Amino acid sequence: MKFSFNNGFGGDMTNKEALRIIANPQLGWTCAKYDCALTIVRNALDKQTPMKLDRADEDCVCGNCYEPIPRWDTKYCPECGQRIDWKE
């Protein structure tokens, strides 16, 4: 899954760019660019942390984007990519 974040420099920063910036702080990145990279990495990490579903009657919805989860055997929300915690 691709995460992007408007970098304030006329475009979106990709995951690959964010990892390169964080891995090489000695290259003198601006604070804004470094903060943008950290936000992308933080968002990606948050999506990998299992989140419990919200349950309304028989329907289950993603706890992150509140979209319906169509199948009980999926590990990630098909809409936003959030990892799902199916434990009660």
> In the prediction, which pLDDT does 8 show?
53
Helix, strand, coil shares of the chain, percent, nearest 5, are: 35, 20, 45
pLDDT-based confidence at residue 6 (cuts at 50, 70, 90): low
Residue 27 pLDDT exceeds 60 = yes
Long-range contacts of 73-79 (CB under 8 A, 24+ apart): none
For residue 59, give both structure tokens.
């329907």
Each domain of the chain, given as residue ranges in start order, spans 5-48, 50-88
pLDDT in tens, 50-77: 888 876 566 788 888 888 887 777 889 9
> In the prediction, which pLDDT does 1 show?
44
Provide the 3-class DSSP secondary structure of residue 61. strand
> What is the distance in angstroms between the CA of the first residue and the CA of the last residue of the chain?
27
pLDDT-based confidence at residue 34 (cuts at 50, 70, 90): confident
